[in-house]
Amino acid sequence: MNYRALNHEDIEVFSEAISAFFLNMTHEPAVVRTAYLLDGSASPLWGDFNGVIDVSGGFRGSITFSAPHGMLSQVLMAIGEREHSVDRCLDVVGEIANMMSGRARRHFGEELAISPPAARPRTVPPAAARATGVPFAIPLRWRAHEANLVVHLDIRR
């Protein structure tokens, strides 16, 4: 099966979903700092908390949002949550993964099969990569914190 290279619209779907989440929840958008390719030698960007969606059906790979604990604590504070437990942090990254999932379905169409969004702490190691293309990392800044969006996706031509 032939897969095409990702174009910037494919990635912006996810970065915009994250920005929209931060804007809606905290009234402060998360801003893309840059975008670059993660080569094979680089360690995977796997933060304190990770929201992951796996895709299939003409697509192959995963999209991961990784954020440090400090960032998520401040997000919880910004939305009026007093409890900053691990579960609440996982809820936040899970919600972001869910938002990415919805945007992805609109962008890529019904052919995209998306697994239920999963929220995982650092202690649960990332699953083995299924996509063969080069993953893209998009660091996003919110206040003084930086999270990472990693789009590792093969799209059938």
Partner 1 sequence: MPVLHSFLRGKYRVLVFAVAAFFLVSVGVYTLNFVLLQNVERDAKSINEGGKLRGYSQQLAKAVLTLSHESAAGEPVQTSQAQISEAYQAFDLALARVQTFAAASQDGPALELADKLDRQWQPLRDAAITLLISATPQRAEIDAAVTLSNTRNVRLLQLADDLTYEQERLAGDRARSMRVLQSGAIAVALLMFVFIVVHVARRLSQSDREAEQARRETTDILRTVREGLFLIDRNGTIGTQRSEHLARVFPHPLAPGDNFLVTLASLVTPDTLDSARQYLGLLLNERVKPALLADLNPLQRVQLAQPDGSRPKYLSFGFQPVRGGAATGITGMLVAVADVSQEVRLERELADAEERARSEVALLLDVLDKDPADVRRFLDDARAKLDGLNAALRDVAPEARAYLTTVTKVCREVHSIKGEAAALAIGAVAAQAHRFEDELGALRQRRTLTGDDLIPVATGIGRMLQELAKIDAVISRLAAFAQPAADAGPRGSETPRGEDGVLQSMQRIQRLALAVAADLDKKLRVETSLPHFGAIPEPVHRLLREGLPQLVRNAVVHGIEAAAERRRAGKHEEGRLRIELTRSADGGIELTVADDGRGIDVHALRRRLTEDGQRAAEQVAAMSDRDVIATLFEPGVSTAAAVSEHAGRGMGLDVVGALARETGARLKLVSTPRAYTRFTLLWSPA
Q: Is the dihedral of CA 150, 148, 43, 50 positive or negative?
A: negative
63, 71, 131, 137: which one binds partner 1 (CB under 8 A):
137
| Candidate ranges 63-71, 83-91, 107-115, 120-128; the one touching partner 1 (CB under 8 A) | 107-115
Residue-by-residue DSSP string for 48-76: SEEEEEEEESSEEEEEEEEE-HHHHHHHH
CB 72 to partner 1: min, Å? 20
CB burial of residue 22 (10 Å; 0-12, 13-18, 19+): buried
Options 45-53, 92-100, 104-112, 117-125: segment touching partner 1 (CB under 8 A): 104-112
Footprint on this chain of partner 1 (rule: CB under 8 A): 2, 5-9, 11-13, 15, 31-37, 39, 106-109, 111, 133-134, 136-139, 141, 157
